[in-house]
């Protein structure tokens, strides 16, 4: 779908991105991960035809984005970091304007706007002025404008920026719902956020691509100990012993937790979670929580994107 080769962008003498090369296949949901200033926004701006690169090529289904930008722009939807909203317009009016701008035939605009509002949960707000919307809804309108013309490629720059936890969950669900209909590139500096949404991660650091692959592949490659946490009550020692017997478990550590419970940290792949739950329950545990270890994601992120780290 999209092929990026040796892409570089300099702001004066400073390189924002250097020799980026990657490929994204049709229908994939890809996460663009990096710290602030790593080059994510610049890359998405180049892919979205907002900026021209200093060097390198971007091809969309074999067509060069630099030589045939107008035809290709109609196939791309772009949400910048700051949603590009005209405050004085109503939601529906704004989306109709954007649809017209993106070459949607006039007779199809109303249907496209209604469909997009339905999908992004904005139907009730069709007549609302954008200036009166909350941050979360403004972000949704931003996603809606990127979607309204039915693009093949959707570029979302930090779509969960500044959202509260509930809005964050809704935004993740929205992005997941786009899988299959669109090829999606989402940028973020929060690994757990995009790890749950994306099929594959592209990690940039100081303008260079330092790693790519699924979360599991990256863990494997970087030697980050896979980990699952269980918060249990009941016969803790028996439960720990049962967990150690599950094939694939490398180690189990036990820590006391509030309320007479215990926190068991299990070194094991994510895929073993159902087996771990079953083993714990069979051993008589009261299972309060079972989750991927937060430490593990943090450690993976620091290894991938942290300054001075090596991938």
Partner 1 sequence: MNAVLLIARRELRGYLRTMTGWIIAAVLLLIDGLLFNAFALEGSRRSTEVLTRFFYFASGPTMVAAIFLAMRLLAEERQLGTLPLLYASPVRDRDIVLGKFLGALVFLSGLTLATVYMPLLILVHGHISVGHLLAGYLGLLLLGSASLALGTLGSSLARTQVVAAILGAAVLVSLLVAWLLASVTEPPFSSLFASLALHNAHFPPFQSGQVRLRDVVYYLLVTWVALFATTRVLEARRWR
CB of 146 to partner 1, least distance (A): 9
CB 138 within 8 A of CB 87: no
The rounded distance, in Å, linking the Cα atoms of 146 and 148 is 6
- In the bound state with partner 1, the residue whose beta carbon lies nearer, of 76 and 305, is 76
Which spans of this chain sit near partner 1 (rule: CB under 8 A)? 11, 45, 48-52, 69-71, 73-74, 76, 78, 80, 82-89, 97-98, 100-103, 106, 145
The rounded distance, in Å, linking the Cα atoms of 11 and 16 is 7
- In the bound state with partner 1, the residue whose beta carbon lies nearer, of 44 and 242, is 44
Q: How many CB atoms lie within 10 A of CB 6?
A: 12
144 token code pair: 């809606």
CB of 80 to partner 1, least distance (A): 4
CB of 265 to partner 1, least distance (A): 44
The rounded distance, in Å, linking the Cα atoms of 208 and 92 is 40
- In the bound state with partner 1, the residue whose beta carbon lies nearer, of 94 and 137, is 94
- In the bound state with partner 1, the residue whose beta carbon lies nearer, of 42 and 212, is 42
CB of 113 to partner 1, least distance (A): 14
- In the bound state with partner 1, the residue whose beta carbon lies nearer, of 48 and 227, is 48
CB of 119 to partner 1, least distance (A): 19
Q: CA torsion angle for 305, 83, 8, 180 (degrees, to 10)?
A: 80
- In the bound state with partner 1, the residue whose beta carbon lies nearer, of 101 and 216, is 101
Long-range contacts of 96-101 (CB under 8 A, 24+ apart): 98/145, 98/148, 98/149, 99/148, 99/149
- In the bound state with partner 1, the residue whose beta carbon lies nearer, of 84 and 248, is 84
CB of 103 to partner 1, least distance (A): 6
- In the bound state with partner 1, the residue whose beta carbon lies nearer, of 139 and 299, is 139
CB of 53 to partner 1, least distance (A): 9
CB of 74 to partner 1, least distance (A): 5
Give the Å distances, CA to CA, from 80 to 1, 141, 149, 192, 274: 21, 12, 16, 21, 39
């Amino acid at each position: 779908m999209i092929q990026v080769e040796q892409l570089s962008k300099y702001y004066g003498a400073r390189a924002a991105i250097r020799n980026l090369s990657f490929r994204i296949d049709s229908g994939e949901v890809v996460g663009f991960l990096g710290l602030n200033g790593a080059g994510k926004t610049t890359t998405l701006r180049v892919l979205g035809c907002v900026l021209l690169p200093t060097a390198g090529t971007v091809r969309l289904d074999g067509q060069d984005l630099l030589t045939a930008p107008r035809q290709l722009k109609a196939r791309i939807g772009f949400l910048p970091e700051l949603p590009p909203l005209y405050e004085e317009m109503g939601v529906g009016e704004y989306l109709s304007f954007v649809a017209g701008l993106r070459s949607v035939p006039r007779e199809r605009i109303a249907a496209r706007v209604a469909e997009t509002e339905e999908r992004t949960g904005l139907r009730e707000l069709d007549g609302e002025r954008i200036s009166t919307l909350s941050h979360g809804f403004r972000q949704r309108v931003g996603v809606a404008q990127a979607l309204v013309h039915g693009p093949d490629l959707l570029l979302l720059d930090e779509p969960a920026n500044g959202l509260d936890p509930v809005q964050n969950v809704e935004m993740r669900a929205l992005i997941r719902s786009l899988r299959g209909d669109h090829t999606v590139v989402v940028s973020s500096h929060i690994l757990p956020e995009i790890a749950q949404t994306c099929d594959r991660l592209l990690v940039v650091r100081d303008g260079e691509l330092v790693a790519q692959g699924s979360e599991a592949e990256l863990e494997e490659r970087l030697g980050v100990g896979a980990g699952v946490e269980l918060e249990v009550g009941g016969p803790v020692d028996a439960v720990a012993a049962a967990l150690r017997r599950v094939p694939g478990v490398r180690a189990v550590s036990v820590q006391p937790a509030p309320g007479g419970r215990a926190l068991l940290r299990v070194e094991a792949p994510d895929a073993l979670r159902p087996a771990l739950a079953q083993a714990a329950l069979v051993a008589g545990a009261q299972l309060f929580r079972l989750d991927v270890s937060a430490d593990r994601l943090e450690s993976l992120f620091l290894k991938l994107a942290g300054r001075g780290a090596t991938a």
